[in-house]
Amino acid sequence: MAGDVILLDTHVLLWWALDPEKLSAPAALAVAKMETSGGFASSISLWEIGIKAKRKKIELPLTVDELARRIKRGGVVEILPVDTTIWLRSVALPWNHADPADRVIVATALIEGIPLLTKDDAIRGYDGVRCVW
């Protein structure tokens, strides 16, 4: 894969799409490069956004369906499906972290062999995944 291709964590996907000023300077640079090289997000991020919106933990100016359509139409970020390989890798991670979305996102970055753009300290502390923030 190209050197500037990255995987966006859920919050970074949201911030890139709706609130880019929340990105750190290195994160903003990484997404600027991503906009020419392409990037990825896990489909579990859409699930996570939907669950958080439903529970009123985040407020969205559009539906999750519309957000997914806009991301797809934009052609910059490809939404990767969570397949059996990713699920099994997420379970096998030697990581005492219970959040299934975080585990799936880390497993996806490892399988794809690309860095993960995240502010999440727990993910950034996982040894084995390259993180940018």
Nearest CA among 106, 122, 24, 10 for reference residue 60: 10
Confidence of residue 1 (pLDDT cuts 50, 70, 90): very low
Q: Taking residues 119-130, report their average pLDDT.
A: 94
Confidence of residue 3 (pLDDT cuts 50, 70, 90): low
pLDDT at 85: 98
Over residues 28-38, the pLDDT tens digits come to 999 999 999 99
**Where are the domains positioned within the chain?**
6-132
Tell me the β-bridge partners of 57.
Answer: none
Q: Which CATH number fits domain 6-132: 3.40.1390.30, 1.10.3720.10, 3.30.750.24, 3.40.50.1010?
A: 3.40.50.1010
pLDDT at 4: 77
Give yes or no for residue 95 having a pLDDT over 80: yes
Residues 98 and 77: their CA atoms lie apart, in Å, by 27
pLDDT at 29: 95
The 3-state DSSP class for residue 106 equals helix
Amino acid symbol at 99: D
Nearest CA among 117, 120, 121 for reference residue 130: 117
pLDDT at 30: 95
Give yes or no for residue 2 having a pLDDT over 90: no
Amino acid symbol at 40: F
Q: Taking residues 97-126, report their average pLDDT.
A: 96
CB atoms within 10 A of CB 75: 9
Q: Phi first, then psi: give them for residue 25, nearest 5 degrees.
A: -60, -45
